[in-house]
Amino acid sequence: MTKGNETKITDELYAYMLAHNPPLDAVQRELVETTYARLPDHAGMQSAEEQGPLLAFLVRLTGARHIVEVGTFTGFSALAMAQALPAGGRLIACDISEEWTAYGREAWAKAGVADRIELRIAPALDTLRAMPAEPHIDFAYLDADKGNYIAYWEELVPRMRQGGVITTDNVLFHGGVTDPRATGGAAAIQEFNNHVSADPRMDSVMLTVSDGLTLSRKR
Ligand SMILES: C[S@@+](CC[C@H](N)C(=O)[O-])C[C@H]1O[C@@H](n2cnc3c(N)ncnc32)[C@H](O)[C@@H]1O
């Protein structure tokens, strides 16, 4: 086997990387800090800081106009993606928590992108299944309950336009994916990763960004 990435990401290197990325704007920064201050027990769910500019970059790169997010929490990733949409673009944000997404609603309004984001509070599987069956989604971000990842994938893939991209978070599950005795979320992600890498409808690459990110493009 060839060797993998030999650069260990120390705190110093991580700070260096952030310093060479586009900085978060004032609304993004306030949202990240408010999430940590008000929801300290849950803030670890927020997408990592470098994922905001990365998602925005991918939205611009793909020219996406119609985005679906599965798992919104306090709205950081939705904010970054919505800000990168062209005029007339739409983002459908799926979550089950009114409480957590309320922080997002406030930030989206402050950033002037609330009119581009439609928040649907319901189990995401119901929201996805109610969407038109034909391909119409340009970009999707999958970042919710891990046990449903394969079900979300199966609802998303047929609805993706040719060339559309699904970005999936937490595909390394804090390292748990290499444990042969994995249970719970780690086992669900193992199954998901096997499912994705064997799916002939999509080209996929797994990246070691943050907790692992897979980019999948519809053939
Ligand atoms: C990891 S967090 C999302 C983080 C978000 N992308 C961000 O950048 O801040 C996962 C979210 O999935 C939501 N969730 C869990 N189960 C769900 C379900 N069945 N349907 C929709 N959302 C769900 C949770 O309420 C939580 O807000």
The pLDDT tens digits for 50-84 are 999 999 999 999 999 999 999 999 999 999 999 99
pLDDT in tens, 183-208: 999 999 999 999 999 999 999 999 99
Site to probe by mutation for ligand 1, drawn from 50, 72, 83 as the one with most ligand atoms within 8 Å of Cβ, is 72
pLDDT in tens, 125-161: 999 999 999 999 999 999 999 999 999 999 999 999 9
pTM of the model: 0.97
74 lines ligand 1 (CB under 6 A): yes
Residue 109 to residue 191: CA distance in whole angstroms: 38
Helix (H) or strand (E) holding 121: strand 117-121
97 lines ligand 1 (CB under 6 A): yes
Residue 73 to residue 101: CA distance in whole angstroms: 5
Average pLDDT value for residue range 75-103: 98
pLDDT at 6 (0 to 100): 80
**Nearest-CA neighbor of 165 among 69, 53, 45?**
69
Q: What percent of the chain clears pLDDT 90, i.e. is strictly above it?
A: 96
The DSSP letter of residue 72 is: -
Residue 11 to residue 73: CA distance in whole angstroms: 26
Helix (H) or strand (E) holding 152: helix 149-156
159 CA from centroid of ligand 1 (Å): 20
Q: Which atom of ligand 1 is nearest to the CA of 148?
A: 19
Confidence of residue 31 (pLDDT cuts 50, 70, 90): very high
Burial class of residue 161, CB neighbours in 10 A (0-12, 13-18, 19+):
middle
Confidence of residue 27 (pLDDT cuts 50, 70, 90): very high
CATH of 11-218, one of 3.30.420.40, 3.40.50.150, 3.30.360.10, 3.40.50.2000: 3.40.50.150
- Please name the residues in contact with 113: beta carbons below 8 A apart, sequence gap of 6 or more: 79, 82, 83, 85
Residue 75 to residue 128: CA distance in whole angstroms: 19
Confidence of residue 3 (pLDDT cuts 50, 70, 90): low
Average pLDDT value for residue range 212-217: 98
Confidence of residue 2 (pLDDT cuts 50, 70, 90): low
Residue 9 to residue 72: CA distance in whole angstroms: 27
pLDDT at 201 (0 to 100): 98
Residue 51 to residue 132: CA distance in whole angstroms: 28
Q: What percent of the chain clears pLDDT 70, i.e. is strictly above it?
A: 98
pLDDT at 1 (0 to 100): 60
> Does residue 4 carry a pLDDT above 90?
no
Strands (E), the chain: 66-70, 90-95, 117-121, 137-142, 160-169, 202-207, 213-218
Burial class of residue 12, CB neighbours in 10 A (0-12, 13-18, 19+):
exposed
Q: Which atom of ligand 1 is nearest to the CA of 69?
A: 6
Cβ 53 vs Cβ 21: under 8 Å: yes
Residue 65 to residue 84: CA distance in whole angstroms: 10
